[in-house]
Amino acid sequence: MDGKLLKDILGDALDNHNSSSKKLAETTGVPEGYIKSLLEGELRKLPPAPYVRGYLTKIASILDLDFYDLWQTYKGETEMPSSGQ
Q: Tell me how far apart the alpha carbons of residues 7 and 36 are, in angstroms, rounded to a whole number.
A: 9
Q: In terms of pTM, does the model score above 0.85? A: yes
- Chain-centroid distance, C-alpha 11: 10
Write the burial class of residue 27 (CB in 10 Å: 0-12 exposed, 13-18 middle, 19+ buried): middle
Give the model confidence (pLDDT) of 6-43 as tens digits.
999 999 999 999 999 999 999 999 999 999 999 999 99
Q: Tell me how far apart the alpha carbons of residues 49 and 22 are, in angstroms, rounded to a whole number.
A: 22
Q: Tell me how far apart the alpha carbons of residues 71 and 85 are, in angstroms, rounded to a whole number.
A: 21
